[in-house]
Structure 1
Amino acid sequence: MRTHFIAIGGAAMHNLALALHNKGYQVTGSDDAIFEPSKSRLDKKGLLPQEMGWFPEKITENVDAIILGMHAKADNPELLKAQELGLKIYSYPEFLYEQSKNKTRVVIGGSHGKTTITSMILHVMHFHGINVDYMVGAQLEGFDTMVHLTENNDFIVLEGDEYLSSPIDRRPKFHLYQPNIALISGIAWDHINVFPTYDFYVEQFQIFISKITNGGILVYNEDDSEVKRVAEAATNPIRKLPYSTPKYKVENGKTLLATPEGDMPIEVFGAHNLNNLAGAKWICQNMGVDEADFYEAIATFKGASKRLEKIAESKTKVAYKDFAHSPSKVSATTKAVKEQYPSRTLIACLELHTYSSLNAEFLKEYQGALEFADVAVVFYSPDAVKIKQLDEVSYDQIAKAFNREDLIIYTNPKDFKDYLFNINFENSALLLMSSGNYGGLNFDEVKALITS
């Protein structure tokens, strides 16, 4: 099968391209810019376009499928040519569904925790030598790609993102997978550029539940009141399995999970991660892994990339980076680190980088998000606001939104870096939360700060 990717360089798109290449498909693609690590990974497999740009002449009647990435625009020259020729055009999630129509589809949805829960499930399967197809939103230790597709595996585990499918398909991705087994971890308003009201955002999860196949299973987090309400209100013929945060304790900087066999030390920490673990356990059990085997495997799970990922540690200092950017994630992550290191000064640095977080109207959602930090720092780039064509966000608006008099705010990358590199980190925990990189912060230099 010959497939052509329009915008092959994206994190998700290039991983799908690699997966199809590994499956024996003939893969080509185009993009106007490709960055690392996508560039090297595509080049290694001979899939890197020879030159950047869009080339309608690449689109011929011999192409069996066009896969369209979100980076492309609706007037993309290659897309227009494909439409003119009447070729089959798939969004990323549409194509994944086509690849998994004859499999048991396990879809992990929710405003937060999706990547971690999916990663936990895949870790358990990998630990026990159970082969499954998958798509996950982060690079995992022990896995070559973020997407793996076969003809033979019975299960496919899919991270179910609620963002749009493609420039010409405005449906949320997770509406297209039609799960046999689904999970919802939490509902907290996000992506306000697409879902301008809270009710409209919640409605997407109601639709997701309605797409579960008849006789299927919904695993849901009953600790989240909105998830509980939406799940319990669903009337389609499915089985519902609630989960909640298990009992645990922290001793000497180590989290101990209560299990039927006694307290078990685990590598991940924080109430939100223990809640994620409970959801993953239900999913694994419905995929044929018994409880004892789940606990044996999960004890060695160290976390997904950029999800409370430890950068460096010395005797009296530790630093973590985390993808947290929405208010609920920021609050849960900050609380987790403070709980793990209660006697240390927690320095929490948050970059406002996403469309939602840089929106003046949405900022008020961050009130109290940094309450567990001893030192709270917010960084944002006015340039990012201009690029996203948003109204300018002022220093005063941010200070008012977080409702914290001692909040430290930086708008210049150099000033933020100077501040960071002049802190006394003795007996402290540094938490860097962002979906960006603070205007070019070198994490190797941060590592040196902590280990010196």
Structure 2
Amino acid sequence: MSKRIHFIGIGGSVMHHLAIDAHHKGFEVSGSDDAIYEPSRSALATHQLLPASLGWDASRISSDIETIILGMHARLDNPELVRAQELGLEILSFPAYIYRQSQNKERIVIAGSHGKTTTTAMVMHVLQQQHYQFDYLVGAYVEGFEGTVSLTEEAPLIVIEGDEYLSSALDPTPKFLHYQHHIGVLNGIAWDHINVYPEEATYIAQFRKFAEASVKAGTLIYNEDDPKVREICADNAAIREDTIKIAYKAHPFNIRENKTLLKTHLGDIEVPFFGEHNMTNLAAAKAVCARLGVSESQFYDAMRSFRGASLRLEVLLEKDDRHIYRDFAHAPSKVAASVQAVKAQYPNRRLIACLELHTFSSLDKRFLENYRHSLKQADKALLYFNPQVLAQKNLPTFESQELRDAFQREDLLVFTDIAELVSFVAKEDLKHTNLLLMSSGKWGGIDWQEIFNHA
């Protein structure tokens, strides 16, 4: 009889891939969720794993289930979770489950408040180009890979994007601590997730734990340009003495005629991505790949064809005198980095930056001041938030002026109606202009790609 696994929160971006993976391995898979969006819905339906109905139902949970995988958004009072506890079933968070599936592999874990998705994607791209056999967990779709998770029996190593968020309602451990890295990367620290780390010091402490969790004779690769990272990694007596420490800085580069060129001893090498933050990501990926036996020439050759992860300065429209980018940037450091990157790459074009406040942190008035000057380099700055989302999160709404004060831009244009925002943007003259759309949300369900298909 095949092992039965039940996923509470099967529609999650990682959870649905884990469910499909378990199904492929011959396990009997069931699952539930209160909302399932694309692309999870179609992927689950294709493999006949889509729940017959949405919502939670304790009757789905029975004693023949061997393992419950608990998604991070399921609450403690979830009736299926309560029933599983009553039956004494094994309950794992998804990072604990991933560790179980990869405990015999070499584990490379890439962490940090920003840059971890792109750095992970860069390492994956290089290893694929060099025909390495490896598994992976990454937070966005990467060109050349199916899905965001791969767990096989054969691969001797796994590349993991390590998130500092809590593992589940039952497990307050930061996800990246479950993976017990052999090679750990710490790329940058900027306070986030105020809902679970209300104090900045508590947030930073999680990364200290990560640095100190290096296994025997492990490797810790860290960004010495980041003062918080440097403090945690450089002279921390709690890190094992046998840990190999490798510091890196942003890779040297030039911008010439709107093209980014890496400065290397092999000569200038043009790459199809840009921004100083991506040069930091590249330096981290290069250090990881070197530890895995990839030569400099092999690494640089792979970077020539790296197109980035989805929603990371992703091009929606490209013409001679304009670009429209969609970016996952939402935290202050990410917003500032993306705005700076586009302006530096195209200094002679006007830049319109449009940001959606969507996450709990970004919608919390206590956190707003962290966005100060993050939109400074944009020629025109637009801000959108949905009052209904604030109400759902039990947060007070914003006045336009307090947002202008927080961002330190008196000319900040604030929208609370998505139709009005779309109408405003659609009327903008985009000649010699770049438009940067930044959000980790859904922009009220609008499809920017469709809007600009005929631009």
Shared topology, TM-score over 0.5? yes
1:16 deviates by 1.2
Q: 2:317 aligns with which of 308, 312, 315?
A: 312
Letter in 2 for 1:16: L
Identity of aligned residues (%): 47
1:51 deviates by 2.1
SS at match of 1:119: helix
Cα deviations across residues 193-217 of structure 1 (Å, max 9, x unaligned)? 1111111111000111121112111
Letter in 2 for 1:444: Q
Say whether the 8 Å CA contact 1:421–1:449 is kept in structure 2: no
1:402 deviates by 0.8
Q: 1:148 — aligned with what? A: 150
Displacement over 3 Å in runs of 4+: none
Q: 1:288 aligns with which of 286, 293, 297?
A: 293
Say whether the 8 Å CA contact 1:20–1:149 is kept in structure 2: no
Q: 1:342 — aligned with what? A: 347
Q: 1:426 — aligned with what? A: 431
**Length-normalised TM-score, structure 2:** 0.97
Distance 1:108 1:80 in 2: 33
Cα deviations across residues 49-98 of structure 1 (Å, max 9, x unaligned)? 12223232332222221100122221112111211111110001110111
Distance change (3 Å), C-alpha of 1:23 and 1:289: farther
SS at match of 1:158: strand
Number of equivalences = 450
**Length-normalised TM-score, structure 1:** 0.97
Q: How does 1:260-299 map to 2 (within 5 A)?
A: 260-299=265-304
Q: How does 1:39-50 map to 2 (within 5 A)?
A: 39-50=41-52
Distance 2:60 2:358 in 1: 35
Deviates more, 1:20-29 or 1:154-163: 20-29
Q: 1:199 aligns with which of 189, 198, 201?
A: 201
Q: 2:410 — aligned with what? A: 405
SS at match of 1:21: helix
Deviates more, 1:380-389 or 1:303-312: 380-389
Distance 1:364 1:243 in 2: 30
Deviates more, 1:52-61 or 1:271-280: 52-61
Distance 1:150 1:315 in 2: 44
Say whether the 8 Å CA contact 1:253–1:341 is kept in structure 2: yes
SS at match of 2:43: helix
Distance 2:410 2:403 in 1: 11
SS at match of 1:439: helix
Distance change (3 Å), C-alpha of 1:371 and 1:245: same
Letter in 2 for 1:293: Q
Distance 1:380 1:125 in 2: 40
Distance 1:415 1:28 in 2: 42
Distance 1:445 1:27 in 2: 36
Distance 1:449 1:339 in 2: 27
Distance 1:449 1:336 in 2: 26
1:440 deviates by 2.9
Q: Tell me whether 1:416 sits opposite 2:416 in the alignment.
A: no
How large is the Cα RMSD of the aligned pairs? 1.2
Distance 1:204 1:129 in 2: 34
Say whether the 8 Å CA contact 1:132–1:157 is kept in structure 2: yes
Structure 1: tracts of 5 or more residues without a match? none
Cα deviations across residues 323-347 of structure 1 (Å, max 9, x unaligned)? 0011110001000000111100001
Say whether the 8 Å CA contact 1:108–1:183 is kept in structure 2: yes
Say whether the 8 Å CA contact 1:19–1:145 is kept in structure 2: no
Q: 2:40 aligns with which of 33, 38, 41?
A: 38
Distance 1:139 1:411 in 2: 30
Distance 2:76 2:254 in 1: 51
Q: 1:445 — aligned with what? A: 450
SS at match of 1:107: strand
SS at match of 1:179: coil
Letter in 2 for 1:350: L
Q: 2:365 — aligned with what? A: 360
Distance 2:235 2:166 in 1: 25
1:449 deviates by 5.1
Distance 2:225 2:7 in 1: 40
Deviates more, 1:23-32 or 1:241-250: 23-32
1:431 deviates by 0.3
Say whether the 8 Å CA contact 1:18–1:145 is kept in structure 2: no
Structure 2: tracts of 5 or more residues without a match? none
Q: 2:252 — aligned with what? A: 247
Q: Tell me whether 1:5 sits opposite 2:25 in the alignment.
A: no
